[in-house]
Amino acid sequence: MSNLIKNKDLVLNNGVEIPLIGLGTYQMRGYEVEKAVEVALEAGYRHFDTASIYGNEKEIGNTLRNLGVKREDIFITSKVWNDDQGFDNTMKAIDISLDKLQTDYVDLYLVHWPLPDKRKSTWEAMIDIYDGRKARSIGVSNYTSDHIEELMKYSSITPVVNQIEITPFLYQKDLVSNCESFDIKIEAYSPLLKGKKLDDPNIVKIGKKYNKSSAQVLIRWSLEKGFIVLPKSANADRIKENIDVFDFELNSEDMSLLDSLDSNIRISWDPSELD
Ligand SMILES: NC(=O)c1ccc[n+]([C@@H]2O[C@H](COP(=O)([O-])OP(=O)(O)OC[C@H]3O[C@@H](n4cnc5c(N)ncnc54)[C@H](OP(=O)(O)O)[C@@H]3O)[C@@H](O)[C@H]2O)c1
């Protein structure tokens, strides 16, 4: 078994290391997110993906503090929400997120969506945030190739990641190549299509072959592509299952079959409508 990907960190274009699998936390609040973070830490997760709009930064911060987790041992991502975009508001938004997370810095701060009138001034604030060490790295989310090209024309800093919806059913090859050409890593969100394709016969068949679940096959597809993956679960068994993916490797035939499922099935909003 050559090149078996381990549960290791990936190095971003600014030298910062990011754990390959992060716990998605969208739609988890209160006790549910506290418990999920605790279970995830026990299962080996060291990377947590949140956003101000998720309304759970406080609970995540509380849990990490109460468990006595060393700050340098974990990787926290948050995102500036659309209502907070623009230079001044973004500068305020990071402070509010840091206060809720009870930390001096996030490991990664993202522009959540590429708003037409505000993404440039928002990105200028992101650079200030990075320079001021309130974020160890900065990146974007939901950027199309056009948005990336536009940003690269005026930015002195290359985003470290583009967090996008990407699965075998929405394999945005051109966007991936475009990001790769700038050394921007892909973070795969909704990697399980929110559970909507777990009974797809091809995925089930591949899972049986490796004695793995459909969720594990989808997560492994992302890893084989070199993406960082952000599966969300509030269930202890499924949280553990989703990180138990480092003991098998999908062969090229199965990867080709998964690639062939590409059919523009999108679970989230389509950012190409944002000019
Ligand atoms: N940047 C953005 O705009 C953006 C947009 C969407 C998502 N995200 C990020 O990406 C993360 C993941 O995406 P997502 O939350 O949309 O969905 P997802 O991870 O694709 O799927 C989550 C759903 O799948 C279920 N599930 C999880 N593991 C499972 C397993 N092993 N077997 C069967 N079902 C399983 C979960 O239910 P249970 O909880 O009951 O297990 C939940 O209903 C988010 O939480 C967020 O952090 C970012």
Provide the residue-wise pLDDT of the chain in tens; the chain has 275 residues.
Answer: 334 455 578 999 999 999 999 999 999 999 999 999 999 999 999 999 999 999 999 999 999 999 999 999 999 999 999 999 999 999 999 999 999 999 999 999 999 999 999 999 999 999 999 999 999 999 999 999 999 999 999 999 999 999 999 999 999 999 999 999 999 999 999 999 999 999 999 999 999 999 999 999 999 999 999 999 999 999 999 999 999 999 999 999 999 999 999 999 999 999 998 88
What pLDDT does 5 receive?
52
pLDDT of residue 207: 98
pTM greater than the 0.85 cutoff: yes
The domain that holds 121 is classified in CATH as 3.20.20.100
Q: Is residue 2 part of a domain?
A: no
Rounded CA-CA distance 198/256 in Å is: 18
- Which pLDDT value is given to residue 7? 59
Interval between CA 234 and ligand 1 midpoint (Å): 9
How confident is the model at residue 4, as a pLDDT? 45
Nearest CA to ligand 1 atom 48: 189
Beta strands at 17-19 and 9-11: parallel, antiparallel or unpaired: antiparallel
Q: Which of 52, 109, 232, 242 to mutate to test the pocket of ligand 1 (most atoms within 8 A of CB)?
A: 232
Cβ neighbors of 1 (< 8 A, separation 6 or more) are 249
Torsion of CA 224, 226, 228, 231, to 10 degrees: -20
Is 257 part of any domain?
Answer: yes
Residue 208 is assigned to a structural domain of this protein: yes
DSSP code, position 77: E
Atom of ligand 1 nearest to the CA of 22: 47
CA of 121 to the centre of ligand 1 (A): 30
Nearest Cα residue to atom 15 of ligand 1? 232
Q: Is residue 23 part of a domain?
A: yes
109 is catalytic: no
- Structural domain of 262: 9-273
C-alpha distances (whole Å) from 213 to each of 66, 224, 229, 231 are: 33, 16, 16, 14
Residues 6 or more apart whose CB falls under 8 angstroms from that of 141 comprise 79, 110, 111, 112, 113, 162, 163, 164, 187, 189
Rounded Cα–Cα distance for residues 217 and 151 (Å): 34
pLDDT at 242: 98
Structural domains in the chain (count): 1
4 located within any domain: no
Token pair in block for residue 164: 């996008």
Choosing from 26, 54, 171, 189, the catalytic residue is 54
* Tokens matching residue 18: 């990011």
Cβ of residue 241 lying under 6 Å from some atom of ligand 1: yes
Does the C-beta of 215 come closer than 6 Å to ligand 1? yes
Inside any domain, residue 1: no
The structure tokens listed for 56 are 């759970």
Could you tell me if residue 3 is inside a domain? no
